[in-house]
Amino acid sequence: MSIRRTTSILALLAVLVSLLPAAARGGEFFRPLRAAVPPVIDGRLDDAVWREAPSLSAFKTFIPDFSREPSEKTVAYMAYDAENLYFAFKCYDREPDKIKAAVASRDTIRPDDFICINLDTFNDQQALSAFYVNPLGIQTDSRWASGKEDFSADFVWSSAGRLDPDGYTVELRVPFKSIRYAGKNRVEMSIFFERRISRRSEHMSYPALDPARGYFFLTQMMPLELEDIKQYTLLEVLPAYTYRKEKAQEQGALVGEQGVHDVHLTGKYGITSQLILDGTWNPDFSQVEADAGQVDVNLRYDLFFPEKRPFFLEGSEMFQLAGSSEADPLLAVVHTRTIIDPRVGFKLSGKVGKKDTVASIFALDESPSGEPGYEPGDDRYAGFGILRYKRAVAGDGYLGAFYTGREYGGGSNRVAGADGQQGYREVQPAHRAVGRRRDHGKKPERQGPGRHRALLNETGEARRVPGLLQEIDRDGPPG
pLDDT tens-digit map of 122-135: 998 888 999 999 99
Please state, in angstroms and rounded to a whole number, the distance separating the CA atoms of residues 115 and 203.
Answer: 10
- Mean pLDDT of all residues in 232-254: 85
| Statement: residue 95 has pLDDT above 90 | yes
Bigger pLDDT: 232 vs 64: 64
Nearest to 191 by CA among 172, 212, 177, 163: 172
Report the alpha-carbon distance of residue 288 to residue 270 in Å, rounded. Answer: 24
Mean pLDDT of all residues in 193-206:
97
Q: Decide if 172 contacts 104 (C-beta within 8 A).
A: no
pLDDT for position 429: 56
Stated pTM of the model: 0.76
CATH 2.60.40.1190 fits domain 31-227: yes
The answer on pLDDT for 447 being more than 70 is no
Query: How confident is the model at residue 335, as a pLDDT?
Result: 85
pLDDT greater than 50 at residue 389: yes
Every domain of the chain with CATH number 2.60.40.1190 lies at: 31-227
**What single string gives the DSSP state of each residue in 421-453?**
E-BSSEE--EEEEEEEEE-TTS--EEEEEEEEE
Q: Which residue has the higher pLDDT, 34 or 322?
A: 34
Q: DSSP secondary-structure letter at 159?
A: E
Q: What is the pLDDT of residue 38?
A: 95
The whole-number pLDDT of residue 12 equals 47
What pLDDT score was predicted for residue 448? 52
pLDDT on residue 394: 78
Closest C-alpha among 374, 356, 364, 359 to residue 437: 374
pLDDT of 76 strictly over 70: yes
Of 175-184, 292-301, 311-320, 324-333, the range with the lowest mean pLDDT is 324-333
At residue 302, the pLDDT reads 74
Rg (CA), the chain: 25
Which position has the higher pLDDT, 374 or 275?
Answer: 275
The per-residue pLDDT for 445 is: 55
Contacts of residue 92, Cβ cutoff 8 Å, sequence gap at least 6: 72, 73, 74, 75, 166, 167
What are the CA-CA distances from residue 441 to residues 225, 478, 479 (Å)?
A: 60, 21, 19
In degrees, rounded to 5, the angle at the alpha carbon of residue 390 between the alpha carbons of residues 230 and 304 is 95
pLDDT of residue 442 exceeding 90: no
**305 pLDDT tier (thresholds 50, 70, 90):** confident
Residue 378: Cβ within 10 Å count: 8
By three-state DSSP, how is residue 319 classified? helix
First to last CA, the chain: 14
Give me the amino acid identity at 335. H
CA distances from 91 to 72, 133, 162, 195, 200 (A): 8, 12, 10, 8, 15
Query: What pLDDT is recorded for position 220?
Result: 92
Which of 328-332, 367-371, 426-430 shows the lowest per-residue confidence on average (mean pLDDT)? 426-430
**Which are the contacts of 82, defined by CB distance < 8 A and separation ≥ 6?**
228, 229, 230
Q: Is the per-residue pLDDT at 401 higher than 60?
A: yes
What are the angstrom distances between the C-alpha of 256 and each of 83, 103, 120, 243? 52, 45, 56, 14
Is the model's pLDDT at 108 over the cut of 80? yes
Q: What is the pLDDT of residue 63?
A: 95
Q: Is 12 or 221 the better-scoring residue by pLDDT?
A: 221
pLDDT-based confidence at residue 439 (cuts at 50, 70, 90) = low
Q: How far apart are CA 23 and CA 46, in angstroms?
A: 39
DSSP code, position 200: G
Q: Give the three-state DSSP class for 74.
A: strand
The pLDDT value given to residue 198: 96
CB 182 within 8 A of CB 350: no
Question: Between residues 248 and 92, which one has the greater pLDDT?
Answer: 92
| Single-letter code of the amino acid located at 321 | L
Query: Chain-wide mean pLDDT for the chain?
Result: 81
Summarize the confidence of residues 277-300 as an average pLDDT: 81
pLDDT surpassing 60 at residue 376: no
User: Out of 202-211, 313-322, 466-475, which region has the weakest mean confidence (pLDDT)?
Assistant: 466-475
Task: Give the number of other Cβ atoms within 10 Å of residue 15's Cβ.
Answer: 10
Q: Which of 212-221, 435-444, 457-466 has the lowest mean pLDDT?
A: 457-466
pLDDT above 70: percentage of residues in the chain? 78
d(CA 379, CA 381): 6
Considering only 33-47, 152-166, 289-303, which range has the smallest mean pLDDT?
289-303
* Confidence check: pLDDT of 48 > 60: yes
- pLDDT at 212 > cutoff 70: yes
Least confident of 12-26, 33-47, 336-350: 12-26
Banded model confidence at residue 192, pLDDT cuts 50, 70, 90:
very high
pLDDT at 113 over 90: yes
pLDDT at 466: 42
Question: 364 pLDDT exceeds 50?
Answer: yes
What pLDDT, on the 0 to 100 scale, is given for residue 444? 56
- If you write DSSP's letter for every residue of 24-57 in order, what string do you get? PP-SSPB--EE-SSPPP-SS---SHHHHHS-EE-
Per 3-state DSSP, the chain is made up of helix, strand and coil in percentages (nearest 5) of 10, 45, 45
Closest CA to 266 of 250, 254, 249, 278: 278
